[in-house]
């Protein structure tokens, strides 16, 4: 036979193919298709520059494979060729002899510029080294090869061993698979067409048989045996330790792994082996322009056709200790006039606080009975079983749900089906002693502070929350104490000593926790602000070296923000104590303020929402808000900070949308807007279930509670996010101070110019 030969080129011994990185190309000025091209493929390199590069970068240098050849080169300049078509297997080749250098450059000079430009350098060299194919002459060898060839395709192996080595001890050692040629065998998968046939037709036989069943049983006796064991650690003796340390096997092992051990130690010093690259990669992907889904996802929703029908949700709170339990206060969707006209109907429809659980999204788990609609309620921080609420008629209510904890946890076994327990309030303040308007906000004082009857803040050493603050549009802020007065406590003790204890009648099963307050509860302190109808308040605490100081931020109904403190002053004439006037007043919002919320990461950063705008304040900076939004198209109804990201907060709108603001991404508009419901959003309250699940509770005007799952991008802070936000707030403070100084300077210039004009007119008249 005559084989078919293809035309091929092989490089001679006087050139060496090289692959140069982009950094090397930039260093030596031989960038592909820029410094060297197909028309101008050669570059003269100085031998001194190549030697210097090999000294500086050592084995990293691209010229290290030809180090000795470069050092032995007789001349000072070497020729580098650009192989655009990869004829020799690399993008460049280095000419190693002076004759080859002249041979490469001579055809270009001899043929002239026009002819040389038409020919490739590879063609010039290949024309001299092309091998002509020779014809095949058959002498009968192919027949012998065919006869001697083995046709059996099954591999056969024979393993043999010298007999004297049978039973000899076997010694194993570690070996790097990459250092030997046969260190490992890679079996790559491939597609076998024999097993990808499409079945077109199949014959199947079916026969019916009776069901057969066979079973057997036998009791096998086993003798008792011990099922436990005990061991003790064994250690080498001093002599065995010395022999092991001096053994040749240990020395050989240490010598064999010493180099790898040194490399491992160096790598540990260079790079942190415990750094989570995957987590860092995901953080980079979660930045601006991220691909992850940033939208809030519906997790669960709660509504009741009986208790919350034709009602709205006025306030929501997550249970502090029981996961998956949330309480909502429902109120009538009526105006003040409608309430007066339908007062008889309202008496038949009691006001309630509903407890919902993720385990039962249809039926509420617990109902708290209220004397009137509740606009605000809070769990006690020191005892979550105690709940306080503020009613529309100005009364303050207390509940004790200690007997129903198992009901909320879902551990009660004798729970009757479709029967929701109703808990009656333990105590309620008298109408004549409470507010004269609906209580819009109520808060527990922390367990570390309390206020005396003289209005002086003191430290609470018991660490139990015992005092409450309420505010209402009747221009009053009241402090309440849930402890029994000392006089009543003494009288009760004396009565117990004289009269034998008798069981009290309690048809409703109400705990006697706050029986001493029921209908006799009076505020401890009443602070009157005549000129402000307060709709929301926030209490701040600052413990100075001498005494604790309380400061309060009020939100009047006309959108004004008032900042004051509780340091009482004494009237010189009457000797009575009165609250000082507000230290600062700001008119920022164009409507009633509904939210005053302190950042969970920065104790001096406050978010206020009201009207069609929101603002961010820094406590101590009294020039105004450091950030103020522009007027939105829809009214803002509520706002809340994120509990895990310092730069994120949520704003609810009257059209059912939620604006998610990420100040690290955008400061002039929300990073995203998502529709949650078709009606007004009334409350927002986030909750952290675990590090992998954050929830956001959103209620609407129709009485539906939506539980949304916060995505990873909105719950996982980026690296140094808190530090970045701190610098951003400081920058905004500097900007505010700068503009205030410019405003004062312009006002002074205007005043001086007006005075100068007046002086000129006065001088002119006098003349």
Are the beta carbons of 644 and 652 closer than 8 angstroms?
no
Extract the tokens encoding 297: 């996802």
pLDDT above 90: percentage of residues in the chain? 34
Instruction: Kindly list the strands in the beta sheet with 613-618, ordered across the sheet, starting from the edge strand earlier in the chain.
Output: 593-598, 605-610, 613-618, 627-628
Among the residue ranges 162-171, 596-605, 628-637, the one predicted with the least confidence is 162-171
**Model pLDDT for residues 528-544, shown as the tens digit of each residue:** 765 555 655 655 554 44
Q: How confident is the model at residue 215 (pLDDT cuts 50, 70, 90)?
A: confident
Whether the pLDDT of residue 407 is over 50: the answer is: yes
Q: What is the pLDDT of residue 549?
A: 44
Helix (H, G, I), strand (E, B) or coil at 104: helix
Classify the C-alpha dihedral 64-69-74-77 as positive or negative: negative
**Model pLDDT for residues 189-206, shown as the tens digit of each residue:** 888 777 777 778 888 878
Higher confidence at residue 508 or residue 430? 430
**Model pLDDT for residues 321-332, shown as the tens digit of each residue:** 999 999 999 998
By CB atoms closer than 10 A (0-12, 13-18, 19+), residue 377 is buried
Residue ranges of domains in the chain: 15-105
**Model pLDDT for residues 741-760, shown as the tens digit of each residue:** 999 999 999 999 989 888 88
Q: How confident is the model at residue 419 (pLDDT cuts 50, 70, 90)?
A: confident
Higher confidence at residue 94 or residue 209? 94
Whether the pLDDT of residue 285 is over 50: the answer is: no
Whether the pLDDT of residue 1 is over 80: the answer is: no
User: How far is 638 from 652, CA to CA, in rounded Å?
Assistant: 5
Helix (H, G, I), strand (E, B) or coil at 65: helix
By CB atoms closer than 10 A (0-12, 13-18, 19+), residue 85 is exposed
User: How far is 58 from 40, CA to CA, in rounded Å?
Assistant: 30
pLDDT above 70: percentage of residues in the chain? 81
Q: What is the pLDDT of residue 762?
A: 81
Mean pLDDT on 21-42: 86
Q: How confident is the model at residue 273 (pLDDT cuts 50, 70, 90)?
A: confident
Q: What is the pLDDT of residue 134?
A: 81
Classify the C-alpha dihedral 349-350-351-355 as positive or negative: negative
Query: Backbone phi, then psi, for 700, in 5-degree steps?
Result: -125, 180
User: How far is 534 from 752, CA to CA, in rounded Å?
Assistant: 41
Residue identified by tokens 């949330």 is 326
Q: What is the pLDDT of residue 732?
A: 93
**Model pLDDT for residues 467-507, shown as the tens digit of each residue:** 999 988 888 889 999 998 765 555 555 555 544 444 445 55
**Model pLDDT for residues 128-147, shown as the tens digit of each residue:** 455 677 888 888 788 888 88
Which of 160-169, 223-232, 538-547 holds the top average pLDDT?
Answer: 160-169
DSSP-derived secondary structure for 455-511: S-EEE-TT----EEEEEETTTEEEEEE-SPPHHHHHHHHHHHHHS---PPP-TT---
Q: What is the pLDDT of residue 112?
A: 42
């Amino acid at each position: 036979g005559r084989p078919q030969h293809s035309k091929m080129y092989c490089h001679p011994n006087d050139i060496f193919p090289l692959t140069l990185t982009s950094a090397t190309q930039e260093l030596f000025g031989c960038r592909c298709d820029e410094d060297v091209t197909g028309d101008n493929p050669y570059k003269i390199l100085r031998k001194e520059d190549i030697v210097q590069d090999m000294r500086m970068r050592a084995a990293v240098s691209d010229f290290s494979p030809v180090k000795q050849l470069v050092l032995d080169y007789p001349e000072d300049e070497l020729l580098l060729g650009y192989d655009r078509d990869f004829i020799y297997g690399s993008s460049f080749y280095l000419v190693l002899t002076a004759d080859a250098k002249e041979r490469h450059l001579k055809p270009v000079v001899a043929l002239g510029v026009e002819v040389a430009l038409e020919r490739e350098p590879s063609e010039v060299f290949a024309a001299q080294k092309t091998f002509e194919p020779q014809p095949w002459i058959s002498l009968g060898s192919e027949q012998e090869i065919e006869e001697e060839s083995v046709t059996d395709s099954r591999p056969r192996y024979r393993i043999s061993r010298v007999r004297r080595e049978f039973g000899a001890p076997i010694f194993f050692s570690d070996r790097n698979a990459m250092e030997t040629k046969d260190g490992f065998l890679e079996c790559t998968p491939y597609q076998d067409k024999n097993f990808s046939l499409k079945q077109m037709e199949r014959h199947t036989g079916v026969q019916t048989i009776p069901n057969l069943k066979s079973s057997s049983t036998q009791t096998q006796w086993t003798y008792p045996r011990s099922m436990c064991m005990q061991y003790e650690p064994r250690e080498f003796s001093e002599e065995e330790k010395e022999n092991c340390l001096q053994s040749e096997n240990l020395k050989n092992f240490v010598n064999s792994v010493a180099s790898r051990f040194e490399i491992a130690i160096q790598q540990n010093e260079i790079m942190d082996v415990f750094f989570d690259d995957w987590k860092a990669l995901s953080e980079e992907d979660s930045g601006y322009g991220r691909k992850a889904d940033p939208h809030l996802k519906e997790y669960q929703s709660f509504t009741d056709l009986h208790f919350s029908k034709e009602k709205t949700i006025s306030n929501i709170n997550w249970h502090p200790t029981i996961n998956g339990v949330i309480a909502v206060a429902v109120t009538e969707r009526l105006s003040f006039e409608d309430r007066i006209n339908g007062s008889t109907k309202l008496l038949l429809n009691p006001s309630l606080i509903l407890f919902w659980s993720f385990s039962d999204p249809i039926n509420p788990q617990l109902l708290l009975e209220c004397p009137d609609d509740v606009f605000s309620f809070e769990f006690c921080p020191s005892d979550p079983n105690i709940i306080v609420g503020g009613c529309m008629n100005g009364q303050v209510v207390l509940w004790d749900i200690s007997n129903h904890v198992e009901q909320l946890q879902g551990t009660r076994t004798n729970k009757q089906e479709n029967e929701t327990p109703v808990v009656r309030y333990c105590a309620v303040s008298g109408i004549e002693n409470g507010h004269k308007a609906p209580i819009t906000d109520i808060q527990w004082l922390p367990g570390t502070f309390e206020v005396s009857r003289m209005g002086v803040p003191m430290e609470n050493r018991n660490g139990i929350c015992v005092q409450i603050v309420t505010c209402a549009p009747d221009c009053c802020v009241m402090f309440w104490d849930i402890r029994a007065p000392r006089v009543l406590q003494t009288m009760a003790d004396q009565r117990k000593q004289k009269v034998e204890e008798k069981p009290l009648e309690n048809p409703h099963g109400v705990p006697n926790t706050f029986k001493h307050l029921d209908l006799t509860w009076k505020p401890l302190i009443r602070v009157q602000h005549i000129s402000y109808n307060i709709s929301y308040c926030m209490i701040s605490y600052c413990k100075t070296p001498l005494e604790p100081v309380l400061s309060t931020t009020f939100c009047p109904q006309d959108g004004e923000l008032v900042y004051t403190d509780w340091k009482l002053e004494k009237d010189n004439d009457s000797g009575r104590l009165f609250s000082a006037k507000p230290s600062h007043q700001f008119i920022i919002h164009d409507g009633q303020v509904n939210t005053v919320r302190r950042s969970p990461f920065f104790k001096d950063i406050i978010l206020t929402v009201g009207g069609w705008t929101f603002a961010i304040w820094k406590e101590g900076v009294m020039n105004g808000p450091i950030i103020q939004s522009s007027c939105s198209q829809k009214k803002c109804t509520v706002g809340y900070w994120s509990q895990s990201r310092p730069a994120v907060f949520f704003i609810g709108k009257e059209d059912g949308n939620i604006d998610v603001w990420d100040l690290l991404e955008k400061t002039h508009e929300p990073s995203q807007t998502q529709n949650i419901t078709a009606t007004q959003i009334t409350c927002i309250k986030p909750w952290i279930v675990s590090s992998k699940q954050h929830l956001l509770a959103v209620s609407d005007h129709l009485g539906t509670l939506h539980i949304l799952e916060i995505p990873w991008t909105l719950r996982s802070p980026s690296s140094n996010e808190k530090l970045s936000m701190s610098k951003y707030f400081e920058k905004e403070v500097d900007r505010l101070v700068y503009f205030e100084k410019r405003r004062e300077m312009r006002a002074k210039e205007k005043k001086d110019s007006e005075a100068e004009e007046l002086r000129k007119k006065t001088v002119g008249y006098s003349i």
